[in-house]
Amino acid sequence: MKKTVCAVLTAGALVFAMSLPTAAQNKDNVKLQTVRMDERMERHPEIDAAIEHLREAKRNLEIARHDFGGHRAKALEHVNHALEECDRALHFDRK
């Protein structure tokens, strides 16, 4: 039961974090990530933004002062897994 609740809360937090750029993005102040064109044939701003937010979430979790009963470590695992999946998605697109 606790694992399920933790997974649901973590997934909700990731969805929330990934939706922030859409809600708060200012078109005049858009920061585009530079990507070498030989690495990817086309740009994927949604996945690029998700990766950036996941990296920020990872940094925040790593410097958190409390362990929160093991939930912080589990959330880090989920964030790392999400980063791996985003990387796999980009590699899949290159094929």
Tell whether 35 is covered by a domain: no
Task: Name the residue range of residue 9's domain.
Answer: 2-22+42-94
Distances (CA, A) of 85 to 28, 43, 50, 59: 30, 17, 11, 18
Task: Give residue 68's Cα distance to chain centre.
Answer: 21
Does 1 or 26 have the greater pLDDT score? 1
User: pLDDT, tens digit, for every residue of 15-65?
Assistant: 556 655 554 444 444 444 444 444 445 688 999 999 999 999 999 999 999
In a domain, residue 49? The reply is: yes
Asked whether residue 36 is domain-assigned, the answer is no
Quote the pLDDT of residue 7.
58
Q: State yes or no: pLDDT of 14 exceeds 80.
A: no
18 three-state secondary structure: helix
Burial (Cβ within 10 Å: 0-12, 13-18, ≥19) of residue 21: middle
Q: Tell me the mean pLDDT in the region 1-9.
A: 56
Q: Is residue 28 part of a domain?
A: no
Tally of structural domains, the chain: 1
* Total residue length of the chain: 95
Residue 29 lies in a domain: no
User: Which of these, 52, 48, 49, lies nearest to 39 by C-alpha position?
Assistant: 48
Residue 66 lies in a domain: yes
